[in-house]
Structure 1
Amino acid sequence: MLDQTAARSPPTLVRWCGWIALCALLPGFARPPLAAQDGSRPASSDAAFDLVLVPGSSADSADGTPIWWLHEEGRASWQFRLEDRPPWRQPARVSGLAEGWRTLEPASTEALDEVIGDRRVAWLRLPLRVPPEWRGARFALDIDLAGAAEIYLDGRLIGLGGRIDERGPSGEGAVRWAGSLQLFDLGPQERQEIAVRFAPQPFAAMRWGAPSRGFELVVGELSAMRARTDRLRSVIVAMQWGFAGAFGAQAFLHLALFTFYRRERSHWFFAVLACTVSILVYLQFEALLPTDPVVEARLSLWWQTFLILALLALLRFSYSLSTRCGPALFWLVTAIGLGLIVVRLVRPQVNVFVDFWWFPVLAMGASLRAMVLAMRERRRGAPILATGLLIIAAATAVQLLLTFGVLPSPFGEIAPVPYLGVLGLTLSMSVYLAKSFADTNRDLEARLVEVQELSRRNLEQELEAKEREMQTRFLAADNRRKTEELQAVREFLLSLLPRSLPDFPGYEVAAEMRTALEVGGDYYDWRVVDGALLVAIGDATGHDARAGAMVSIVKGLFTSWDGKGDPGVFLGNANATLKLMSLRSVLMSLTLLRIERDEVVVSSGGMPPPLVFRHARDEVEELTIEGMPLGALHQGPYPSRRFTLEPGDGLLLTSDGLPELQTPGDELAGDDAGMLGYEKVREALVEAARGASAASVVASMLELVDTWRQGEPPSDDVIVLAIRREEREERG
């Protein structure tokens, strides 16, 4: 057995996965390394460096011979120098090279980091005692390291791992894995020495399964080493296809479920997640196989890319389970993830899981938040899926703690525990599917019980709907009939209004009616009889054919009046006539006046008071005349008032629709606060009548109507009738 001072490093990802696979599938191979024939024992699992020998002289070396570690507890460990000098490749027994070397105690990752620090390159050496049967024999060397190394035996270069330049390990390919055999010959002498020029990989470039900033040398005869490499490869390939196939099967299952039931989009997103993880696992194990450094760098690039995509797929799957998740956080995390992919493509030396460790935490936190919202929505099966998501979140957290050395790994390495977390999520998804199918069957049974009841109710509802439809058609037909009747009444009432202005010398007369949406009974008329101008303005109650009949009767009475006598007497006689007709609560408010030369006689029953504009004083007089609407009570003559109109004076007659005009908002609220009122009408008349014609006064008052109603039609008909005595009569 060789004499050695090496200490064992943490096992790689390959051996960790191998322990799982062998313990589960091949228990006969899952045994710890046996003691060496000379009494040496395996090293502790927390060391930074290993030198391993697979002896080809053993009878069972090709079929399961355990690895023999060149180490004995209590012996001297590796010696190191922190400067980079080529002569140190020579053995220490050469004169002048034995001084200044220090022993690395303990041979651990922490000790290595402490002594090397920020230095690029260090030299380490290990003296050996070679048995006679091995002197001059050809051996194979397998190097497993994180960084780059040159291995010398008594000054001869026997192995290379990566490439060292002035900046340290060169390129991503500097991280090498076990399985690349390099042949060399042991020397003929008993005492020989291994020297290693080593450039540790920066921590940011570390990956799962790499030795913790150290190296491992495995030595053995070629046949035994090939047998070991084949076993290593078979374990990796088996686990590669096993894990990738398991996740691929889950992807296929949920893709099929989504294909046949597209409403459940969570199946699609979980299929994307499982497919992404399947590719991720395949790339992970593919990188463990002996390969070209350039290919290995590309695999690492794609692996970290799919790691980000897997986190984003997990986030999207979680968001598909809740309807209350806003898209802002999802798109923020997605943008960050895509940005990290770009950073990884531009700067291959960046390790996303280490340099940007907060991104997995952010993605997992957003996923947990979405799951909590789904549980608050009481989505069916959300607690089951939340359990799986908590498993993968816990696995990711443990992986981060292992990566940064906060937690010790039970296998002495950075274990890929997130894969176990994804398996937990897959298991919870399977339980969710089983529960969903069971709940669906129960729901179907309950629905079948309700079918007959629902069918009966549906029949009753159809009959009720048919009956309502007939009623709706009847009401629609009745509404069309009434609308046509009201339109006929409107046209009839408008036909009763005069078509031209009166020709009465010395006076201007203008009138206009602004109609409402509903039919009203507003009415105005004039006649010139024996040199006198007779004017009537009124408003019948109601909005139907009875109002039209009332207006028609009053127009007939007004047309038959000869204009002689007092207007109040005419109103009294008209009231008596209407009472005899028994028109059933249909009343007629009416103002009647007669103008002869400059004298005006006016009488009114229930109409707004006439307004007289005095040109000389620039003021408005309000003529209040008490009287009941026609058809209300049996009474004698109505009171009358006499006054004169000087040149330039004017007279304004309106229906109650003008002073009682309301704004649209107050009209809907039933509030009288927005009513125009008589005072505002008087103020508007003062402004409009100064030197203006009768037509201008009417236009100004109607403009007031439009302004007050804010462009909407009035709720009641508005009549504005203006009379003005011309000023030229006085000059003549």
Structure 2
Amino acid sequence: MKKILLLVLILSTSIISQTTDTTYINGDSLKTKDVSINNAWDFHNGDDSTWALPTFNSIGWDTVDSRLNLDSIKADYWKGIGWFRKTIVIDSSLRYQTIGLVLNHYGASEIFLNGKLVNKFGVVSKTFEKEKIYRTDKPVMLRLDSSFAYLLSIRYSNHLPKIHSYLYPRVSKRIGFAATLQNWDKGLDDYTNSLSIGISFVAGIVGIFITLSVIYLLLFLFYSTQKEYLYYTFFTFSMGVVFLFGLLNNIIHSDLNFYFAKIFILPFFLISIFISILAFLYKIFYGQMIKFMRYLLSIAILSFILAFFNGIENITGIVFVVVVIISSIEILRVMFLSIKRKKPNAWVIGAGVGFFAGFIIIISIIGLFFGKTQISNLYIVFTFLLSIPISMSVYLARSSAQTNENLGIQLTNVQKLSKEAIEQEKRTAKLELEAQLVKVENERKTKELEEARQLQLSMLPKELPQLPNLDIAVYMQTATEVGGDYYDFHVGLDGTLTVAIGDATGHGLNAGTIVTATKSLFNSYASNPDILFTFSEISRCIKEMKFKRLSMCLSLIKIENNTLRMSAAGMPPALIYRNNTKELEEMMIRGMPLGATKSFPYELRETQLTKGDTILLMSDGFPELFNNEKVMYGYEKVKETFMEVADKSSEKIIEHLKDTVSTWIDGNDPDDDVTFVVLKMK
């Protein structure tokens, strides 16, 4: 037994002798608090895997604080990657135990214990391009054995300070890492609770504030004269954004853009919280803004600018805290005078504002004179932060109750009026109600048409196929009352292009419904080479959907090499311009709209295409277009118009057809959708 102890002491002495500094860890102190080990690390720029080994002697390396604060090192000291080494000596109570190590950094790290890799965060690299940063406070498990001394080596890279020399200091004032040892069980429980409870808790707060902002924004949109709703919207939305950043800060570990975005966005919303709630109170109790608000806004803008240039870690700087304190004091002053002057329900909202402002003043003063403070009890914070929304809800409830009470008194007075006056009131109320119903109905129809239009446009492909043998262009102009036009493309694995153009029966949401169904069915059957089978299946499916009188007119073509195959169901003919003969062919295929019957013998046509041939597919909106004299454009004019530019590019053809439509209807909106699909063989 004595030999074993002697061997352990010799090994421990050997490890200690390889570094210049030793940190002693007491088991009892580790049970009650975390131990910071930032000071006195052996450090060397560069990268060598042997530097992790206990046998390597790092005497002669620089002795540094592991955080490498920008204010305490030379500008060119950090080279982007380096190694940190420290010897840790434990007492006998920690032998065969497990302790936790927490690293907090904006770079990437690999953690070695006695030369063995125990964990890593991100990807350590000599170059910025290969490095992957990872910011976390997750504890790393360090399993201790019978030894008393351990070598802790950290391979660490952080290229951000050099690559983003302007923005990085505004995210963090340190290049290196903060290191802390902690009781493993306690640290793991704290970390797990922060993820499972803290994140979900904060997410709930974000949801509450964002929901409140949406509700009050809608109230303001309905009652635009009530500007207090708008100011309250700014307040709750700003609170939601601030908490959202706190939530994302615990979730996002490797996105550099998030940390930089926080510089620009977070200070604005922090200041917006106080400005908006003060503006809200001015509107509630004064009915207007006062001069003090201008001065406060000027200070707030200055605070925002200084916060940006001074860095997000210094957001509790003097100017910002002054803005917070001044705003909070002014809020309390407004509430005190409002309550003193017995403004209606002022005491209700004053209670919530008082709790909130008082809480902010306390933590701001603590932050100003004693440094940063952490409020560990989320439930206390939650109670204070919800004090204003809760008091506002009570305020609105009481105001509503008093309004109802006043209405009751007024109704009693109305009953004392003569029958003639009452009847006149009834008639007036009836007329107003009818006008309101008409307005609501018109708004409903307008909304329905807009929803149908947006639905129709969402069904269309976002990009046109790019094929070496085809030049493709499309155009659609929706009508005032949506007509249900639709077009789509599919390119098969063998290069076969499938083109669909259709027109749903009916208008508005009904047309949007049938287009949605057709879009889904087209995606399912477009790759099938059998057009007639595709028609049969789409027609059967639409029929089984029991859309009653709704159906879909559709033309479907497939172009494989120089072969065109086509079938149509109730659509206008396809026009084919033959470049060799300079003649126009009309491919008319008659058929019932899809979904009109359970089965129909649709016809399939096939033709060969050559270079320069152009195909025009269209809905009936163009040939059946009426001008101001109620004259229909007609299919013959369509052919003539097409022949005028059939030898041009697809885009030129589309532009000519668009100009023709605009001229014919003299700038008015068409009664039906107008859709063109032009395909030219290259």
TM over 0.5, shorter chain: no
Structure exhibiting the larger radius of gyration computed from Cα positions = 1
